[in-house]
Amino acid sequence: MPATVKGIERYLGSGLIKGIGPVMAKRLVSKFGVETLNIIETDIGRLKEVEGIGSKRIDMITSAWAEQKDVREVMLFLQSHEVSSAYAAKIFKQYGKESIKIVKENPYRLADDIFGMGFLTADKISMKLGIPEDSLIRAEAGILYVLRQLSDNGHVYYPYEPLIEECKKILNVERDIILKAFGKITSEKKIILEDLNEKELSENNKAVYLSEYYLAETGVADNLKRIFNSFRKTGQIDKDKAVGSMQKDLSISLADNQIKAVKESLDKNIMVITGGPGTGKTTIINAIVKIYGKMGRRIMLAAPTGRAAKRMSEATGHEAKTIHRLLEFSPKQRGFKKNDTDQLDLDLLVIDEASMVDTMLMHHLLKAVPEGSTLIFVGDVDQLPSVGAGNVLKDIIGSEYVPVVKLNEIFRQSQQSLIVTNAHRINSGEVPVITSDRNILQDFYFIQLEEPEKVAEMILNMCMHRIPEKFGYHPVDDIQVLTPMHKGIVGTSNLNSELQKHLNHSKDELVRGGKIFKTGDKVMQIRNNYDKDVFNGDIGRILSINTEDHVVTVNYDSKRVDYDFSDLDEIILAYAVSVHKSQGSEYPVVVMPLLTQHYMLLQRNLLYTAITRGKKLVVIIGTKKALSIAVKNNKPQMRYTNLKNRLGISKL
């Protein structure tokens, strides 16, 4: 414990004791001097002598001080095993006074239970505790870690032999130890092995699933079949008459393909409508909603993200929710209230941006859809697949199990936009048009620059001056920088730090785990947090940083969310975000670096996704060579999923 006045002030103001911030620490020390800590320990009531401290704050400081004593013991133990104080606080929050006991018994539990702590950190602690490298407990944790990493990369399962090789690399142990561990976690049903051979059995053609993903993928297939084959509640309808009447009501004239999509929705239980920007997907949703509304049917609309749901509401005039809100997550039950025993009360469900829905969320959604209802997936299958594991929309289309209407025609108002024209060109493997033709809306620019330093400078210039001055867009609210990479000069980390420095001059800041947060910062939530009702990909602005109560408040679309300091690894700066993280969102302006250094990430669907995020203006800064590589590279990273086969086989 600190013994000097300066040391005591620094200790109390460091943010470790809830209820005492830097200002209060100064007041306490100027009142009680070197006796301050002793008074908090033995005669805490005397703190009322200090201005600004009442009974409520004394209660807060009392419990924080008691907790701090327990935390201190845990921290000393963990720091002797080279665990940072930020993680130590999280561990204490999770396990309380049991922390040391649990960590000693099985340090690998940390990788499962503590967000942000992976297997590698747990492994270091384990080594320090003397757990042997070839122990079974380590091999079991290692296999589960590798499978989780692979699911984070989009795989629903992984082939048996390549998985063994991945585990050997990480664990550095003999194959027989890995096989023993495999046997144990299989018998405990933590993983599921499935033979993928259709005829002769071969030892190695096995798929290895984490059990929750096996359950989710088989659940998606079973529920799609259940809904598709159920008796249709809506009955027969004169489709020509319904379509004619709807076009009159909405004063629109649909193209043949659009009419086909609307008619399919009137006699099929499940269908998919897919197409690029400007092909009229929203018009079709509107038309279908209009017809079902006129028939007096119960309609629900949903999308994976808050922004996509908001756009859907604005376009249709009908309430749309996020899928999570539609299914009503209950923190008490740690699950969704709407499920197979308490299903949604509806006749029609339309899911927009369906390419973003991963296997796990789709499983929960389909369970809650009642038989006899109509389910319509709308999305752009050429975009990047979901951030979570799986490639659900693509697999459903590929299985040919349900009817699919693909929209190819770009409508007149969209033909004038270079963003739309170029998105379709890229999707067809053609290089985008860069023009100075005054008759075409100049909403797409390409700036040729080669050195990453110059590109980073140009991005700053674009966000700070050129775009706001020429087009009137707000540098933070309207402009979104999207980049293929996390590292490097034009990666998210460096660009965020530079954009924060130049766009946010607030002095009110907090340094946490090497990250600087300031009031006014644009931030993104990076995991689903059902308790807070915020989800992976939600973007907000920091409203306030309270160093006394240890709370950072973020505003997400007029919803305020409080974060305890120990939860701040759930948010990241979002002046620049990866293209993957931008899915389902639209921004007035997109600025994107594109260089050959991004070689591994130069893919057609990534470039296409980035461009289609921009609503009014897209600016690409980089080299034509990088642009050409991305356009030509139509080999998206492969994901191991078996949904297509599960649906396809059932047709035979």
d(Cα 12, Cα 31) in Å, to the nearest integer? 14
Give the pair of three-digit tokens for residue 15: 């943010």
- Give just the sign of the alpha carbon dihedral 181, 185, 186, 192: negative
Q: What is the DSSP string of 271-302?
A: EEEEE-TTS-HHHHHHHHHHHHHHTT--EEEE
Q: State yes or no: pLDDT of 336 exceeds 50.
A: yes
- Give just the sign of the alpha carbon dihedral 276, 280, 281, 282: positive
For residue 651, the model assigns a pLDDT of 45
Mean pLDDT rounded to a whole number for the chain: 88
Q: State yes or no: pLDDT of 311 exceeds 80.
A: yes
Region 616-643: mean pLDDT is: 91
Quickly state the pLDDT bin for 2 (edges 50, 70, 90).
Answer: low
For the chain, what percent of residues have pLDDT higher than 70? 94
Top-confidence residue, 98 or 452: 452
d(Cα 586, Cα 640) in Å, to the nearest integer? 29
Tokens 């308490």 appear where?
A: 342
d(Cα 420, Cα 526) in Å, to the nearest integer? 29
Region 339-346: mean pLDDT is: 94
Region 10-14: mean pLDDT is: 75
Give the pair of three-digit tokens for residue 76: 């000393």
For residue 438, the model assigns a pLDDT of 61
For the chain, what percent of residues have pLDDT higher than 90? 51
Top-confidence residue, 115 or 424: 424
d(Cα 464, Cα 503) in Å, to the nearest integer? 7
Q: With beta carbons less than 8 A apart as the criterion, state whether 581 and 537 touch.
A: yes
DSSP state of 431: P
Q: State yes or no: pLDDT of 557 exceeds 90.
A: no
Quickly state the pLDDT bin for 652 (edges 50, 70, 90).
Answer: very low
Q: With beta carbons less than 8 A apart as the criterion, state whether 309 and 322 touch.
A: yes
**Beta strand residue intervals within 53-188, DSSP E:** 157-159
Quickly state the pLDDT bin for 235 (edges 50, 70, 90).
Answer: low
Q: Enumerate residues 6+ apart whose C-beta is below 8 A from 547.
A: 13, 15, 21, 22, 510
DSSP state of 462: I
Quickly state the pLDDT bin for 155 (edges 50, 70, 90).
Answer: very high
Give the pair of three-digit tokens for residue 546: 């309270």
User: pTM of whole model > 0.75?
Assistant: yes
Provide the 3-class DSSP secondary structure of residue 556. strand
Provide the 3-class DSSP secondary structure of residue 406. strand
Q: Which helix (H) or strand (E) holds 74?
A: helix 55-79
* Farthest-apart Cα atoms in the chain, separation: 87
Region 306-333: mean pLDDT is: 88
Give the pair of three-digit tokens for residue 161: 């032999």
Give the pair of three-digit tokens for residue 644: 């297509």
Quickly state the pLDDT bin for 198 (edges 50, 70, 90).
Answer: low
Give tens-digit pLDDT for 76-86: 777 677 776 66
Quickly state the pLDDT bin for 618 (edges 50, 70, 90).
Answer: very high
**Beta strand residue intervals within 441-503, DSSP E:** 444-448, 479-483
Top-confidence residue, 366 or 124: 366
Q: Which helix (H) or strand (E) holds 500?
A: helix 492-503
Q: Kind of pairing, strands 479-483 and 587-594?
A: parallel
Q: Kind of pairing, strands 551-556 and 539-546?
A: antiparallel
Quickly state the pLDDT bin for 414 (edges 50, 70, 90).
Answer: low
Q: What are phi and psi of 371, to 5 degrees?
A: -65, 150
**Amino acid making up residue 596:** T
Query: Minimum mean pLDDT among 101-105, 361-365, 415-419: which range?
Result: 415-419
Query: Minimum mean pLDDT among 231-245, 359-373, 465-479: which range?
Result: 231-245
Output b/e per residue, 571-598; b: 16+ Cβ within 10 A: bbbbbbbbbbbbbbbbbbbbbbbbbebb
For residue 520, the model assigns a pLDDT of 96
Q: With beta carbons less than 8 A apart as the criterion, state whether 224 and 246 touch.
A: no
d(Cα 341, Cα 336) in Å, to the nearest integer? 11
For residue 635, the model assigns a pLDDT of 82
Q: What is the CA radius of gyration of the chain?
A: 28
Region 204-210: mean pLDDT is: 88
Q: To 5 degrees, how large is the angle CA 572–CA 352–CA 542?
A: 25
For residue 620, the model assigns a pLDDT of 95
d(Cα 605, Cα 635) in Å, to the nearest integer? 9
Region 528-553: mean pLDDT is: 87
For residue 478, the model assigns a pLDDT of 95
Query: Minimum mean pLDDT among 215-224, 327-336, 637-646: which range?
Result: 327-336
Q: Kind of pairing, strands 374-379 and 206-210?
A: unpaired
**Amino acid making up residue 40:** I
Top-confidence residue, 493 or 6: 493
From the CB of residue 98, how many other CB atoms can be counted at a distance below 10 Å?
12
Q: Which helix (H) or strand (E) holds 325?
A: helix 323-326
For residue 637, the model assigns a pLDDT of 79
For 360, counting Cβ atoms within 10 Å of its Cβ (0-12 exposed, 13-18 middle, 19+ buried), the class is buried
d(Cα 581, Cα 584) in Å, to the nearest integer? 9
Query: Minimum mean pLDDT among 3-17, 249-263, 308-322, 597-611: which range?
Result: 3-17
Tell how far CA 239 is from the center of its chain: 40
Q: Enumerate residues 6+ apart whose C-beta is below 8 A from 69.
A: none
Give the pair of three-digit tokens for residue 559: 């919803």
Top-confidence residue, 416 or 174: 174
